[in-house]
Structure formats: C-alpha cells, structure tokens
Chains A and B, each alone.
Chain A
Amino acid sequence: MLARRLSTAPLDRRRFLFASAGAGAGLIIGFQMLPKLAQGASPAAAALKADPNAFIRIAPDNTVTVICKHIEFGQGSHTGLATIVAEELEADWAQVRTEHAPADAERYNNLHWGPFQGTGGSSAIANSYDQLRHAGAMAKAMLLAAAAQQWNVPAGEIAVAKGRLSHAASGQSASFGELAELAAQQTPPSDVTLKDPKDHSLIGKHAPRVDSKAKTTGQAIYTIDVQRPGMLTALIARPPVFGATLKSFDAAEALQIKGVEEVVAVPQGVAVVARDFWSASKGREALTIEWDESGAETRSTSEILAAYKAMADKPGLVARQDGDSDAALASAASVIEADFEFPFLAHAPMEPMNAVAEITQDGCEIWTGSQLPTGDQMVAAQILGIPPETVKVHTLYAGGSFGRRATPDSDMVSEAVSIAKAIDGHAPVRLLWTREDDVQGGRYRPMYFHRLRAGLDEDGKLVAWQHRIVGQSILKGTPFEGMLVQNGIDQTSVEGANNLPYAIPNTLIDLHTTDVGVPVLWWRAVGSTHTAHSVEIFIDELAEAAGRDPVEFRRELLRDHPRHLGVMELAVEKAGWGEPLPAGKARGIAVHESFASFVAQVVEVSLDGGTPKIERVVCAVDCGRPINPDQIKAQMEGGIGYGLGAILHDEITLDGGRVEQSNFHDYVPLRIEEMPRVEVHIVPSEAAPTGVGEPGTPPIGPAVANALYRLTGERIRSLPLSKHELRGA
C-alpha cells in the first residue's frame, strides 16, 4: 500500500528546496546552483549529488554545521558523518555542529536504497563516505576561491587548516566564518581533488562525539521532550490480540478524569487525549472497550512453533544450492543434525515509541525520531490528504531504536497524525507509548525454526551442508518488498545463511515463509540474529565430530575468505586462544559477516550457580577504513551487550494470542553487573568503510553457546539461555 503511495506522490522538490533555504546566513549557497553542479561536476560527484549546500552550512559566527541525512539514535552517525566532512573541509573539530536534515528523498536519500531517505542496515557511513568527502572538498574549494578573490592572490598559494585560511606571502589570514558570505557567491567547482588518506587528521583518529555534552546535562531533546503551545498528550488503547478490531467503546468514565479532553476512535484503537501524560494514562484505564477478535491471531507461541517444526520436514524454496547435498549426505561417513528455536524479540529501546503531530494552515509538522523520514512524510500526507511537500518532518535524537523506529508503515507517525486529524487539528498532539505498549505492541524480531544437517567424510572433511529456515517474512507487504524479496525469498530471512563463507562442496539453503498474524520487524542485525547463531554453533559441533579444534576447523574452511580469516586470527591472537584457563572457565568463538563488515568474538565464560557469567569478550572487527575508531569500539561494546541481553533473558511469548510479557521485570534487559569486559581490536584497512551499528551483535550468542558447551557438555538449541538449567561438566 505504501509502495503505491510512494509512486503516486512525488515530492515537489523545487518548492521544498526554496522553502528550506535560509537567507543571509553565510554559505548556504542558493539552490539554483544545483543544475550547474549536475552538468559540470565530475561523474562521481554528479552521481553522488555531492552538493555542499545540502550538507554543510558555514555561518559568519564561524560554526560549521553538518546537516545529517541520517538519524542519530546512539550509533554515532552524526559524529561519523561530521568527521568525514570536517576532514575534507579542514575544519577545526571544535567549530563543528550537527543537525538532522529535513525529509527529502532526492537530496537526502540513502544512496544504497534509491529515492528514499532512511537509516538502516548499518549504511549511514557506508553510503555517505564519498558523498560527504566531495561535499567537504567542494565547500573548501569555495572558501579558497573567496579568499583568493578577497586577497587578490592565487588560490593555489592559500593554505587551509583547522578552520582558517592563510596566505604566507602576504601574511593574510581569515576564519571560515569571515569568508562564509563571500564563499557563498563563488561558482562551485566542477571537480575536486580529495585528500590522500595518509594526510587524514580526523578520519582514523579520535574525534569526540558531537552529542556528549547535550546528553550528559539533560539538554538533548528527544521526541518525548517536544513542547508546542497548546499541545495535548495522547495514549492509545490498542487491541489485546494482534489483528483484532474495535467493536465499540464507552468513554463516559474516562471523560470524567480531570485533564482528559477528548476520546476518539482512530484506526489503531481508541485514543485518550489529555492535558498531560498522567491524565491520559488514567483516562485510558477508565475506558470500556469491546474488541472483535474474529480475525485475530489467537494462537500461542507453542502452537506456532509446533507448526514450524512440521513445516521443517518438507523442502522449502531454495535460496542457495551448490552441488548435490542430498547425494553427498547419503554417501557421507557421518551425518550430524541439529534443530534451533528462536523466540520473538522486542526491541525495547529506552525511549518508548512516540511522535508529535501538529496540523497547520499550510500542512502538517511532525517531530519524531524518524528512521525513515520520507516514508513518514508520505504516510502523514496520505492520512491528511495533503501534498507530501507540505508535511515538515523534524527528525530528533531518538532514545535508541535497534530497528523499531524503521516501520515501513510509519506506525507512530500515522497514529499521531490520525489523532490530530480526529480532533480536527485543534491542538498539537504528542502521542506517547508506555513500556507496556512497547513490549506488547508487536513489530518483533520474528520467531524462527532452523534445521541443519551436514555430512563428514572418513577424513572428517565437511562434504555436505543443508540449512532449512522456517519463519515470517519481515518485508512482505512493505515498500521494500520489491527490492529485497526475490523469487519468494525474503533476503532478510536467509541473510547470514545463504552467504555461508565456509568452503563446502554441496550446500542447500531453503526457506519456508510462514503466515502468522504477529507484526514483525527488523531487529539489530536482522537475519543474522538467528542465522549466525545456528551456523556458528553447528560449525563447532562439526569441528568436534571431526576431532578438530574449532579455530583450526574454521581456518581451513575460510581459506577463500581473507577478511573472515583476518578478524578470526586477530581475535584468536588477542584472546590467547588455546592457552590454558583456570578450572571452571571456558572459551568459545564465532565469526560472522553482516552488512559487509566482519566480526569475530572470543568469549570466556564461567558458571555462577546455574547462571552463565560472561567474563570477557575479545572482539575483532574489519569495517573497511575506520572513520572513528572509538565509535567503532563503542558500537562493538553496545552490539555485544544488546545481543547478550537477548540471548540470556529474552523472549516474547503468546498465550492465546496475548503477549505474556509487559515491562522490564519480565522482558529483562542486560544490567551492568552482567556486562563482560570487552576488548575491541580493529583490522587496519583501506577498503571502503562499512557499518558497525549492527555487525557486533550476531557473533555474541553463538560464541557464548560454544563456550558454555565446553564448560557444561550441553548444546543449547533454544533461546533464551535462562530457560535452561546449566551445570558444570
């Protein structure tokens, strides 16, 4: 449905561009230069639409503002994007600021996705690197041209460093701010020369986060903090089971609550609109609602799992096939088989979902932590029946997401806008979710069932590999379906399995896509959250069956994959793999590629009573050229902690279709005492930079499971680990 909206509602770009052009504020060069750039720029720059206007604003007060097309929700995107610009611009890091870009599918599109703006798939740095280097270099060239004009000297004689231009022979010098207005009048260069990486002073070095101060003083503004004159707060009572619809409701009692102003039906449920959160919350509790559950998903997770297991007995759609795995299994000396079960997982970011919508005379304004701004813009326009370019999206810092804020149907925004519309737009509406709304609200990492089967020959060589995956499609019915579902195979269901790096002559990876009425969504590292788990545990099992050390076994099978090998060898070396450990401790390893970044982790575990204790994680990452090493480390630390919390504690279960968990007491987050020591080592690389937001998460689960096996002799095949009683072997 959204796909149709996207194709029938083109942005009025010209109008939008002029609307957002500030006047008299330095180097926000007139947007009329766009066509010039497109004609005159180098093919690379033109293709990238490297337009310094879009990404850089230099003000007379000497600040350099990097306009970020990607949301900052913790992953360090704004610091990384600004680092790239500042490097080529030769800005002083202290003068650099960042802000979120407005929604614009042409200027601010994700270059990996086509004409759509969004953050996901660990792509912010990867798709922006060349674009922002060009933008920074062009802005620098225009500052140089301005200085040359003002001082009447050749531009080639002018030096630029740390936010200042200087001409040695004449003794002239000026700050970026002093030259900003004149620079804005220069013709943008048709081509630029980028810095030699050996001269980099920020990229690959340390640039502190741009948001640390605001986020340590309570000053950073998130959606929940937005204040608008006359704003009302709304909570929605949603159906108790997925797919139920509203039959009737009685708001009489709710309307008696002090502060409750209106109660309105919206497509998502019944909204209580009040002067503040507390009134809205009491009002919602006072509602009487009848739901129609006739079309709802009322199965329990145990029933769904049983159905998945039955499906796994039959072949699915083939995602990858090499050689003849059936024949190779039939003639193998030994055949090993293992089943794995994965639960639904909630994202549970710290900031529960929310959005602010204000219907204005000219259209609508939205404030939200928007992971897909142009999608949010289209959805709001559709609900209100107005042109998309009249919907202004203010993207704000988000208190985490882990995928949750990238809903292809813009759930929070559509709710906020629907409520604003239902109250005739007479007040701005701040829609809030509670933690219970979040945990019980669906959009989960899907449940999956995996069956793996492999054959070894007499020499312990791996000759056959079959991997069957059963689970829901994340992308079916979304605008991303055309891009990522091919021949009935949702790539996000099989990623991490169908790009198996191990050299095995006969392989078969197949998929059953299931029909379940629970809304599902991408969750930090998406398919690799389950595929890496089963593959990396199964490889360890096969190594054992072959009588080999897990590292040695992988080393041989990864012979054609130098980057996998590179991270594995680095992690193994730093962790002291093979060196003796005290009694009661064991190591485990996992290696995985996701989003074109390579990560290996070696963990050390022990048992505290029956509870696994993860003591140390040594992580090696190859993400191409490291832009900001400290932020790469931070993302590995965070990815490990996020994955660890999930595999230790978390599952969403349904009983008769009703979610059994509701808040952090039963959907248990990782806490500080469970966080291991983490050492991160970065593989030096000159390859194109790739992302780090997600790739740190997949290896931790299997590395822990492999270590626990060595400690306990027990293979754990279903998650979370808290379901299992563990005893030392």
Chain B
Amino acid sequence: MALRISVNGEERAVDVDPDMPLLWALRDHLQLTGTKFGCGIAACGACTVHMDGFPVRACSIAVGDAEGAEITTIEGLESPAAKAVQSAWQDLDVVQCGYCQSGQIMSAVALLEETPQPSDEDIDAAMSGNVCRCATYVRIRAAIHEAAKRMEG
C-alpha cells in the first residue's frame, strides 16, 4: 500500500517500503532532485530538508516515519527567511560546484527562522553538519549575516 507524505504543502503518495530513506523517496519517486545524496549516514548534510520546520537529514529518516509530518525541500522554500538566504547566496556568489548548497540553504533558513541575528558561533553550531568540499564556508558565513540584515530591513 502506498505511503502518504506531505511535501511542500501537497499530499503525495509513494509506493515504497516504509524503511526507504525519505531522501530516496523524494529523489527517485517524487522527482524532487534538489535534495542531494552525499554520504547516507547523516554526516554531510547534503540531504537536509525541513520536517515540521526543523532541519533533518533525509538520508537517515525512514519515509514511513515522515508520515504525518510536513516536509519542505529546496523546491518548496518560500518564507521570507528563505528569500533572504537565496538572494544573499546569489548576490555573494557563494556557490561553486553547488551540490551541497541545497542542504546548506535549508540549514541556513532553519537557523534564521529560529535565530534572526545569529553570531558566528550560532552559525558554526547550525552549519557544522553541512559539508562543502569546495570550502565555500567563508561566503556561507557572510551570506547568512547578509540574509539576517536583509530580513531586518
């Protein structure tokens, strides 16, 4: 029997085993490919999505456990914090290869929704789980501060 999950405000049915990681249900069955696979053990953050507003690693959550929760992926971002983060990311040219950036942005948006004016320490704590092998960290930090400014103004 198909599972029903709520993704980006829509009820979606997925005909998969409940132990399939949410990541692969999103990617392989709902064609939401903005969320990326990087490690499969919640060690890199490339698969970060929001579950009821909290950032989680979709590679390590069974899709069966996501039933009843509201899932938001990069494709469904639309909050003021999300707009501020994405525009700051674009204006500062944060991205390089870009593969980790969906996850980075999901974590950054969750941070700003919780802590609108984060310190460097807040940023380290919230973003430490998101690996960027291109090491765009200098700009990630700057873009989060910039987004915080934009949300204020």
Contacts and interface: CB of A to CB of B under 8 A. Distances in A.
A208 B41 contact: no
A663 B43 contact: yes
B11 to A, nearest CB: 21
Nearest to A213: B90
A212 B131 CA distance: 18
B72 to A, nearest CB: 11
A217 B95 CA distance: 11
B97 A216 contact: no
A524 to B, nearest CB: 10
Q: Which of B20, B37, B73, B105 has the most C-beta atoms of chain A within 10 angstroms of its own C-beta?
A: B37
A224 interface: yes
Contact of A215 (B73, B98, B135, B137): B98
B116 interface: no
A630 interface: yes
Contact of B139 (A74, A637, A670): A637
Interface stretch (A130-138, A392-400, A588-596): A392-400
Given A74-B96, A75-B96, A669-B131, A216 B24 contact: no
Contact of B135 (A76, A219, A351, A641): A641
B73 A218 contact: yes
B46 interface: yes
Contact of A216 (B31, B96, B101, B141): B101
Given A224-B37, A351-B97, A671-B128, A664 B138 contact: no
A642 B133 contact: yes
B64 interface: no
B39 interface: yes
A672 to B, nearest CB: 4
Given A217-B74, A434-B40, A637-B138, A351 B99 contact: yes
B36 A350 contact: yes
Contacts, number: 184
Contacts of B148: none
Given A258-B17, A276-B28, A641 B43 contact: no
B56 interface: no
Interface in B115-137: 123-124, 127-128, 130-137
Contact size range, A: 35 or more
Contacts of A219: 34
Nearest to A347: B133
Contacts of A214: 98
A222 B20 CA distance: 22
Q: Which of A208, A350, A397, A673 has the most C-beta atoms of chain B within 10 angstroms of its own C-beta?
A: A350
B55 interface: no
Contacts of B21: 278
Interface residues of B, number: 56
A677 B138 contact: yes
A212 B39 CA distance: 24
A211 interface: yes
B24 A350 contact: no
A555 interface: no
Contact of A638 (B38, B91, B102, B135): B135
Contacts of A402: 133
B101 A215 contact: yes
Contacts of A217: 34, 74-75, 86
A224 B36 contact: yes
Contacts of B98: 74, 211, 214-216, 220, 397, 399
A225 interface: yes
A638 B98 CA distance: 13
Interface string A599-641: 0000000000000000000000000000000110010011011
Q: Which of B16, B97, B127, B141 has the most C-beta atoms of chain A within 10 angstroms of its own C-beta?
A: B97
Contacts of B37: 224, 277, 352, 432
A672 B141 contact: yes
Contact of A233 (B28, B43, B73): B28
A692 to B, nearest CB: 12
Interface in B87-109: 89-91, 93-102, 105
A73 interface: yes
A227 B31 CA distance: 8
B149 interface: no
Contacts of A212: 89-90, 93-95
A41 interface: no
A435 B93 contact: no
Contacts of A348: 133
A215 B104 CA distance: 11
Contacts of A387: none
B81 interface: no
B60 interface: no
A218 B74 contact: yes
B96 A634 contact: yes
B34 to A, nearest CB: 2
A350 B93 contact: no
B91 to A, nearest CB: 8
Nearest to B21: A278
Interface string B46-80: 10000000000000000000000000011100000
Contacts of B16: 276, 278
Interface string A241-282: 000000000000000001000000000000000001110000
B99 A222 contact: yes
A209 interface: yes
Contacts of A76: 96
Contacts of A630: 93
Contacts of A115: none
A412 to B, nearest CB: 15
Interface in A185-216: 208-209, 211-216
Contacts of B135: 637-638, 640-642, 644-645, 670, 675
A234 B130 CA distance: 27
Nearest to B102: A218
Contacts of A349: 97, 99, 133
Contact of B124 (A644, A663, A673): A673
Contacts of B134: 74, 350, 400, 638, 641-642
B136 A637 contact: yes
A277 B16 CA distance: 12
Nearest to A258: B17
Nearest to A274: B28
A4 interface: no
B97 A664 contact: no
Given A218-B73, A278-B24, A664-B44, A669 B133 contact: yes
B136 to A, nearest CB: 7
A716 B36 CA distance: 38
A665 interface: yes
Nearest to B91: A208
A259 to B, nearest CB: 8
Contact of A397 (B24, B73, B97, B105): B97
Contact of A663 (B41, B89, B132): B41
B33 interface: yes
A319 interface: no
Q: Which of B74, B90, B94, B138 has the most C-beta atoms of chain A within 10 angstroms of its own C-beta?
A: B138
Interface in A59-102: 73-76
29 contacts: A75-B96, A212-B95, A224-B33, A278-B21, A349-B133, A350-B36, A350-B38, A350-B44, A351-B99, A352-B37, A397-B97, A399-B97, A400-B99, A402-B133, A435-B39, A435-B44, A630-B93, A637-B136, A638-B96, A638-B135, A642-B134, A644-B135, A645-B135, A664-B39, A670-B135, A671-B131, A672-B128, A672-B132, A675-B141
Given A211-B95, A401-B97, 8 more contacts: A224-B37, A277-B27, A435-B38, A637-B135, A638-B134, A641-B135, A664-B38, A675-B141
Interface of A: 73-76, 208-209, 211-222, 224-225, 227, 233, 258, 276-278, 348-352, 397-402, 432, 434-436, 630-631, 634, 637-638, 640-642, 644-645, 663-665, 669-673, 675, 677-678
Closest 4 CB pairs of A and B: A218-B34, A641-B135, A399-B99, A215-B98
